[in-house]
Homo-oligomer: A and B are copies of this chain.
Amino acid sequence: MEGSQLYNFKEQLTIKSKVKDYYNLNFIEDLNLTLTDLINDVNNIFVIDNNVSKTFNFNIIDLLKDSRIIYINSGENAKTLNYIQTIIENLLNLDIKRNNKIVAIGGGVTQDIVAFISTILFRGIDWIFLPTTLLAQCDSCIGSKSSINFIKYKNLLGTFNPPTNIYIDIKFLNTLSDADIKSGIGEMYHYFLPFNVEAAIELNNKYDDILNNRNILIDFIFKSLTIKKKIIEIDEFDKDIRHVFNYGHTFGHAIETITNYEIVHGQAITLGMDLANYISLKLNLINHNEFLVLHNILNKNLPKFLFSDQNIKEYIIALSKDKKNINTSLGCILIGKDNNVKKYFIKIDELLTSYIFEYTKLYSI
């Protein structure tokens, strides 16, 4: 039974942080009970993603009668300082004080906006997060980061400011499209391949079932967060070892750039990992068999994307503009022996281009 499986999941995480000392993550079963508790605390003000309020039947709305709720846009283009100023004005209209907490209900964009505001309003107020997307539940909800766009620069601005409490209810996942689920699975793979390959294999085995029964995801969400927790507790501010989580992201971001973000993030990352692994193979960091094991895991989650002579050129240009590059060398995370990941700087030259070209001929779908 799906229900009973859920009710037995009592795991929780406590994450150490330099910003907040520590913060707690709980998997919850009864969303209404948690919401009622949060509503009963008169210090809480709710910031809710417009889409969530449309797709999920919230008792909270009846209970609050709109008096302590702000609905926000959750498109990528909402992540601007101007929109943030609008939301701060709305919060001031609700007479927000420094002892209030903001309860954010939504996905990554809602998280980015509320985390950023909670850093700068009154020099920091507490916030609570109920992530509603798989990406937010399995990845972004911990790790303290917020990201705001500035003019043409994506995620140029941001802060480190974790919530005090995170409540994950996987029932939210039933409101998501298959593409949203595939996006989350991509991020989970990027934690599992280097740090828990058995989980990656298991996730791959259950891939088709998951799309029909999202409850299965709870265990994988917990495993993803457990991996991330270990690293962010050591390097919360992303100065050093946390860089390993860029695995797949350098090659994935360039895919997103040339496709104008039409491919969902996690699937672009999946392709990014497969491509990074092929570079590892060509650099003799892994052998062909090792590459194939990883490729067979990633394969189902690869996006429908065909490299062409034209877009490979655009792709190399996008890679050459990556923020992590040093001069003409691409800064990226590659996998090696025993699936260990490490930072490498690879010359962006004809050879790299030929590797990518070769990959696309063999594996592009």
A interface residue numbers (CB < 8 A to B): 18-19, 81, 85, 88-89, 92, 97-98, 116, 119-124, 145-148, 150-151, 153, 156-160, 237-238, 323
Interface centre among A116, A119, A238 (most CB of B within 10 A): A119
A239: nearest chain-B partner, CB-CB: B124
Query: Which of B89, B98, B148 is close to A120, meaning CB atoms less than 8 Å apart?
Result: B148
B81 close to A121 (CB less than 8 A): no
Q: Which 8 residue pairs spanning A and B have beta carbons closest together?
A: A123-B158, A120-B157, A18-B18, A81-B81, A81-B85, A120-B159, A123-B159, A121-B157
Query: Which of B81, B89, B116, B237 is close to A151, meaning CB atoms less than 8 Å apart?
Result: B89
CB distance from A105 to the nearest CB of B (A): 24
B92 close to A124 (CB less than 8 A): no
A158 close to B237 (CB less than 8 A): no
Q: How far is the CA of A333 from the CA of B159 in the complex (A)?
A: 32
Given contacts A120-B148, A123-B238, 13 further A-B contacts (CB under 8 A): A81-B81, A81-B85, A88-B150, A89-B151, A120-B158, A120-B159, A121-B156, A123-B145, A123-B159, A123-B237, A124-B159, A124-B237, A159-B159
A148: nearest chain-B partner, CB-CB: B120
Q: Which residues of B contact A237 (CB under 8 A)?
A: 123-124
Query: Which of B88, B122, B151, B159 is close to A119, meaning CB atoms less than 8 Å apart?
Result: B159
CB distance from A83 to the nearest CB of B (A): 12
A21: nearest chain-B partner, CB-CB: B18
A19: nearest chain-B partner, CB-CB: B18
Interface centre among A19, A123, A148 (most CB of B within 10 A): A123
Q: How far is the CA of A151 from the CA of B148 in the complex (A)?
A: 21
Q: Which residues of B contact A153 (CB under 8 A)?
A: 92
CB distance from A19 to the nearest CB of B (A): 7
CB distance from A22 to the nearest CB of B (A): 13
Q: How far is the CA of A116 from the CA of B124 in the complex (A)?
A: 13
B323 close to A123 (CB less than 8 A): no
CB distance from A195 to the nearest CB of B (A): 24
CB distance from A189 to the nearest CB of B (A): 25
Q: Which residues of B contact A85 (CB under 8 A)?
A: 81, 150
